[in-house]
Amino acid sequence: MATNKHAMIRYQALDACFSNKYRKYYIEDLIDACNKALDDFYLPKENAESGESFYVKRRTIFNDIAYMESSKGWSAPIGRFYEGHRCYYRYEEEGFTINKKDFSDAELDTIDEALVMLNRFKGVEGFDWVDEFVTNFEDKLGRKKNEVPIIGYQKNPYLKGIEKLSAIYHYIVNRQVLKITYEHFVKGSMVHIVHPYYLKEYNNRWFLFGITEQKRDSLISLPLDRIISIVPIHIAYIPNTQFNFEEYFEDVVGVSVPMNGTPDKVLLRFEKSRFPYVETKPLHPSQKIIDKDDCIVQIEVHQNSELDSLIFSFGDQVEVLAPDSLRNKIKARIKNLSEKYK
């Protein structure tokens, strides 16, 4: 493999690092990123065949940075930002990249569709970039925005925590450990060192899942509206090798996953007027029609508070047939509720 090709691989890796405003890349991080990029591009096989080593050293990175900054390279605006005696590198001009690529008409149409979906975050704190991106997109590429809205979303302008969503997403992507101050409803203010893995929305509320330094073998769930502050910290990130989140939430309604036990086969009988809605909008992916004439469906889930709330959302148009534990729990809550209206 030609040396200039090795250099281009390094330039691309460095460009990605310098463009990332959610992570601080010190010289050792840049070396790691370039070595990983070289590993990903055919080199283990070539190394084995040739006996050569293509791994880079500090001098190589400094030379690459100098070339990228020069007029022979890309005149890249690479800034040096000092924290004590250490220095991290980042583009001073936001949005700069050494890669310039025109879009095809089909790609532009796809971006238009994506922008329509992104508009659900328009006006939400922390998502100012949506408006800015749309404006830049129109100005630079000559795309005209549809003046009349053609799709709508349910929005809650008073929802707390949503302004943190964008930053947390980027912290997860960039494997950044976080110091999170969290307000527990009962225990008060708490501090966690979190390795963030996953964001999930349920019922217009967002949750962050990850592991903590104190407890690495189980997940912590933090509603974004209870997070007071987030501070990135420079310690080694523990990648997620334990949890498949699609499977993790497979047997629950909502986000509360019991530590133990197996899912219950929950049988629900609906009023005939409500049944068509349940049939066309399943309560859970496991939903089965058990008896269409008697309007009975089955879902296989763990019992949790979200399941209770879902059942109560149907009011008197649903009856829990099984299991007995869930039926008795709902029955007791209905009795308590009826006492309030005597």
Tens of pLDDT, residues 50-83: 445 567 889 999 999 999 999 888 999 999 999 9
Residue type, 180: I
Query: Among all chains, which residue has been given the structure tokens 């949790």?
Result: 304
| Numbered ranges of CATH 2.30.30 in the chain | 162-248
Retrieve residue 236's tokens.
């080694």
* pLDDT of residue 158 exceeding 70: no
pLDDT of residue 48: 44
CA distances from 119 to 145, 149, 151, 154 (A): 12, 10, 9, 12
CA angle 83, 89, 91 (to 5 degrees): 130
CATH code of 264-340, in short, is: 3.30.70
Alpha carbon distance 309, 246 (integer Å): 22
Q: Which residues pair with 80 in a beta bridge?
A: 89
Task: Name which of 31-45, 98-112, 239-253 the model is least confident about.
Answer: 98-112
% of the chain at pLDDT higher than 70: 80
Range from 19-28, 150-159, 161-170, 225-234 carrying the lowest mean pLDDT: 150-159
* Assigned architecture for domain 3-91: Orthogonal Bundle (1.10)
- C-alpha span between 268 and 289 (Å, rounded): 10
Give dist(CA 5, CA 225) in Å, integer.
48
Tokens standing for residue 64: 């690459």
Phi, psi torsion values for 138, nearest 5 degrees: -65, -45
Among candidates 171, 229, 218, which has minimal Cα distance to 196?
171
| Interstrand relation of 178-184 and 288-291 (parallel, antiparallel or unpaired) | unpaired
Count of all residues that appear for the chain in the document: 342
pLDDT, mean over the chain: 85
Of 31, 42, 24, nearest to 91 by C-alpha is: 24
Per-residue confidence at 47, pLDDT binned at 50, 70, 90?
Answer: very low
pLDDT at 151 over 70: no
pLDDT at 188: 86
2: phi then psi, degrees, rounded to nearest 5:
-70, 150
CB 2 within 8 Å of CB 54: no
| pLDDT of the residue at 142 | 57
Would the pTM of this model clear 0.75, i.e. be above it?
A: no
Question: Could you tell me which CATH number the domain at 162-248 has?
Answer: 2.30.30
Which pLDDT does position 144 carry in this prediction?
57
| 224 contacts 164 by C-beta, under 8 angstroms | yes
Domain with CATH 1.10.10 in the chain: 3-91
Query: What's the pLDDT at 6?
Result: 82
Nearest Cα to Cα of residue 230 among 193, 182, 194, 180: 180
Which residue ranges does the chain devote to CATH 3.30.70?
264-340
pLDDT reading at 131 higher than 90: no
pLDDT of residue 123: 60
> Are 192 and 180 contacting, i.e. CB atoms less than 8 angstroms apart?
yes
Residue whose C-alpha is closest to residue 269's, from 327, 325, 321? 321
Please state the φ and ψ torsions of residue 9, each to the nearest 5 degrees.
Answer: -65, -45
Contact by Cβ (8 Å): 167, 219:
no
